[in-house]
Amino acid sequence: MQTILVTGAAGFIGSFVCERLLSDGHRVVGVDNLNAYYEVSLKEARLARLAALPTRQYFQFHKLDIQDNLAMERLFSEQAFDSVVHLAAQAGVRYSLDSPQTYIDSNITGFLNILQGLRQQRETLGLTGAHQAAEGPHLVYASSSSVYGGNKSSPFNEDQATRQPVSLYAATKLANELMAHTYSHLFGIPATGLRFFTVYGPWGRPDMAYFKFAKSILAGQTIEVYNDGQMARDFTYIDDIVEGIIRVLELPPQPQTTGDADFCFEKLAPHRVLNIGNHSPVMLSEFIQILEGALGKAANKRFLPMQPGDVPSTHADTRQLETLTGFAPTTSLSEGLKIFVDWYKSYYG
């Protein structure tokens, strides 16, 4: 049994990761601030699901904010973690246009507190330097496909340049990758960033398009379709995301000999980034048709231009993930949306 910290434990992905880790026989310490970005009752219902599990005695929940550096210092000083799955963040591209400070506080300051906590724990264990990375806790953290910005090359692969984010949300996620690499280099923290591609499924986030579309279609309200439906997304079902996280968590990166004459250090930091997506993008217009079929009801559509911060297409190259773990997401959109719709109707009546 390992003790694993999961931040964002009341969130969409975080609650599923907690459930999987508990079912695998681990002790889970969950952290979430239960903010009101979307309905708190949904977050509380996710926690209630965890509290009803047969292994609930191994789940410990703390309501705290990762921005609170003193609370995070205390958490890391009071408990030793074998691994950390960092999923807490302020999500949403469009919301970052209206509330930019929230993204800096949560995604930058909050992430720094996680890195500092891991640095503190390594120092307590007497671990210093990248050469001892395999002996310390592995950090797996959420990045995003948004770091690719307006990159036209498709599919997106991890070796492509990510110098031109087109939203503040994307910029904070790119900053997370740079921060994690720096701490891996300086303090030997093994870290893996996962670039998620449009995660969907039951118990999901109400601010996501598929969730808002379902609500509006069932209510007979008009849905807003951006870029006239000519946008493609690599929709990835929640179970595939969780499977990828669990497999990666068990495989911490090791410092590697660089072999690069232009790099002044002999070893590369024990840090990597991996795409995790369904490697099968679907046009927004087709997505709506599939959702209509699952709901058994047609949508009233209002076509609008592309919104600031959006990109026309995302497409994950997942070969590195598959090579490392032997796994790549495969759940079809029609299968995943049917499960989501069944849950939605059951939960919201």
Angle between helices 209-218 and 333-348 (to 10 degrees): 60
Residues classed as catalytic: 169
Contacts of 75 (CB under 8 A, 6+ apart): 5, 29, 31, 62, 64, 117
Looking up tokens 């911490």 gives 252
Q: Which residues pair with 274 in a beta bridge?
A: 194
Angle between helices 238-249 and 12-23 (to 10 degrees): 60
Contacts of 228 (CB under 8 A, 6+ apart): 303, 305
Q: Which pair of tokens denotes residue 147?
A: 């770091």
CB 226, CB 283: distance < 8 Å: no
Q: Is the dihedral of CA 91, 136, 324, 261 positive or negative?
A: positive
Q: Which residues pair with 93 in a beta bridge?
A: none
Instruction: Label residue 327 exposed, middle or buried (CB < 10 Å: 0-12, 13-18, 19+).
Output: middle
d(CA 66, CA 282): 35
